[in-house]
Amino acid sequence: MAENATTQTAVVKSVIGPQYPQTTVLGVNQNHNGGSGRRSSTLKTPTTTATESHARRMSGSNLGQGPDSSISSMKWSASDFVVGRPLGRGKFGNVYLARESRTSKSVALKVIFKNSLTGGKSFNLLRREVEIQIRLRHPHILRLYGYFHDPKSCFLVLEWASGGELYKHLKALPENRLEESLAAQYMRQVALAVQYLHACHVIHRDIKPENLLLAGDLPPSAAPATASSHGRRSSGSTGVGAAGVLPADHVLKLCDFGWAVHATPPDQHWRQTLCGTAEYLSPEMVAGKPYDRTVDVWALGILAYELLQGKTPFYVPEGENRGAVSMDRGEGREGGAGGKGVGVTAAAAVAAATEDGDMKKGREEVYARIAAYEGALTFPYPVSVEARSFVSALLVPDPQDRVSLDAALRHPWLMEEEDV
């Protein structure tokens, strides 16, 4: 459909749906071609748990309330923003630090080039990402305030997390790992966010340090320092040793919902698409079996291991294994798989991904290690018995035997950080 005068001036409604805990419908008019196409799906209203209350205390604001409530009800055009420095660049567009003119609030403005969204499926994925993230209200999930578009680009107005990616901070440390107490604190925050997502019947499918942002600037005391013995922080030290100590009062924000899916049981409980990041994929996904939200529980286990050890348990030095992986196994637009397996082997998945250009050197070995994993973990750097127990409970090959998120949040390793 041709662009009309309204879209020529980039004045498009910012559709802000009700937050997940208070809504009964998922589906908004978000056809970027100007059509109507409304999609709806019934949601249950999750109750607020004690762990969510703790997350609110850590952030200093209630779910869906606070200083962002005014900006999230606005309608925007490109002229409403003063664009500053770039925050990141990607295949489909760039992210910039920007200031919203009417409120003077700093935001992250994600600019997605329409010519990079080839075919209707790419637009559908973008629409789904917006439909999901725009309704999420949790202190450990990055806010999407709204969106607009012009003839060349789509613009997402996002919360700005000034501390940047957790992954970059990890890589700046000599051994790429955190002090155990801080790792536990961060894991609790991420687990709270995922617990909230699952209560909303949302599976993230790409949890990793690159998709965790720190809300707050790093003070000088958090800069890397000389490693103490055994990589542990020495008493009286104010810097970061081989095992890093970032600011303890920082709040993590889970972001990037490009692979997230709304999966309401029972009809859409099982998924089939191979997607996410190679080193974080679960055994059932690698084996081509239908999977459910427990893939996020597995990813939390990989994340915890990486925060403690500096690498994932299935890391291989050859090639780049942290990029996006995707292969549609007949799911189409994420329709239900009906609980039936599709018989895609790990080798076939690797071959298909390689043909699509999504697989790079070393990923076949990563998949082979995941497929061969039987539950025995090694920890090159010393960690507590509680930390080992926590990670091992999440990284169980059979998804039916993995610990639930509620039980994980009651684990002694995380409970020690509840009142931090």
Distances (CA, A) of 240 to 212, 224, 247, 403: 20, 5, 10, 32
Q: Are residues 78 and 204 in the same domain?
A: no
Strand locations in 114-235, DSSP E?
Answer: 144-149, 153-159, 164-165, 177-178, 202-203, 212-215
Looking at residue 171, which CATH number applies to its domain?
A: 1.10.510.10
Per the structure, how many domains does the chain have? 2
Q: Are residues 245 and 341 in the same domain?
A: yes
Does a structural domain hold residue 3?
Answer: no
Question: Of 113, 141, 160, which marks where a domain is finished?
Answer: 160
Q: How many CA atoms lie within 13 A of 65 on its CB side?
A: 8
Distances (CA, A) of 247 to 30, 138, 183, 292: 39, 21, 11, 34
Global pTM value: 0.74
Does a structural domain hold residue 28?
Answer: no
CB atoms within 10 A of CB 382: 13
- Residue 139 near residue 188, CB atoms below 8 Å: no
Q: Are residues 127 and 263 in the same domain?
A: no
Q: Are residues 80 and 207 in the same domain?
A: no
User: Which residues have CB under 8 Å from 176's CB, separation 6+?
Assistant: 170, 310, 311
Structure confidence at residue 268 (pLDDT) = 55
Structure confidence at residue 24 (pLDDT) = 25
Does a structural domain hold residue 25?
Answer: no
Mind listing the pLDDT tens digit for each residue in 148-198? Answer: 999 999 999 999 999 999 999 999 998 999 999 999 999 999 999 999 999
pLDDT higher than 50, residue 250: yes
Looking at residue 90, which CATH number applies to its domain?
A: 3.30.200.20
Does a structural domain hold residue 114?
Answer: yes
Domain limits for position 382: 164-415
Q: pLDDT tier at 55 (50, 70, 90 boundaries)?
A: very low
Structure confidence at residue 320 (pLDDT) = 60
Token pair 């059932």 in the structure block, residue: 284
User: Which residues have CB under 8 Å from 230's CB, separation 6+?
Assistant: 382
Structure confidence at residue 56 (pLDDT) = 40
Per-residue 3-state assignment (H helix, E strand, C coil) for 230-276 = HHCCCCCCCCECCEECCCCCCEEEECCCCCCEECCCCCCCCECCEEE
Q: How many CA atoms lie within 13 A of 145 on its CB side?
A: 23
Strongest mean pLDDT among 16-20, 44-48, 107-111 = 107-111
State both tokens at 250: 């920082």
Residue 108 is classified by DSSP as E
Q: pLDDT tier at 415 (50, 70, 90 boundaries)?
A: confident
Q: Are residues 146 and 169 in the same domain?
A: no
Mind listing the pLDDT tens digit for each residue in 272-331? Answer: 889 999 999 999 999 999 999 999 999 999 999 999 999 999 998 865 667 666 655 444
Q: Are residues 113 and 260 in the same domain?
A: no
Q: Are residues 282 and 221 in the same domain?
A: yes
Active-site annotation holder among 68, 80, 150, 206 = 206
CA 291 distance to own-chain centroid = 18
Q: Are residues 265 and 375 in the same domain?
A: yes
Does a structural domain hold residue 259?
Answer: yes
Do β-strands 202-203 and 243-244 pair in parallel, antiparallel, or remain unpaired? unpaired
Distance between first and last Cα of the chain: 54
Does a structural domain hold residue 201?
Answer: yes
Is 249 among the residues known to form the active site? no
Q: Are residues 219 and 322 in the same domain?
A: yes
Q: Are residues 208 and 92 in the same domain?
A: no
Distances (CA, A) of 45 to 18, 143, 238: 12, 20, 45
Does a structural domain hold residue 126?
Answer: yes
Q: Are residues 263 and 197 in the same domain?
A: yes
Q: Annotated binding residues for ATP, as ranges?
A: 91, 110, 114, 159-161, 210-211, 256
Structure confidence at residue 361 (pLDDT) = 62
Q: Are residues 253 and 134 in the same domain?
A: no
State both tokens at 359: 């697989």
**Alpha-carbon span 282 to 195, nearest angstrom:** 18
Instruction: Name which of 297, 268, 279 is nearest 369 in CA terms.
Output: 279
Question: Of 125, 160, 195, which marks where a domain is finished?
Answer: 160
Does a structural domain hold residue 10?
Answer: no
User: Which residues have CB under 8 Å from 384's CB, separation 6+?
Assistant: 180, 413
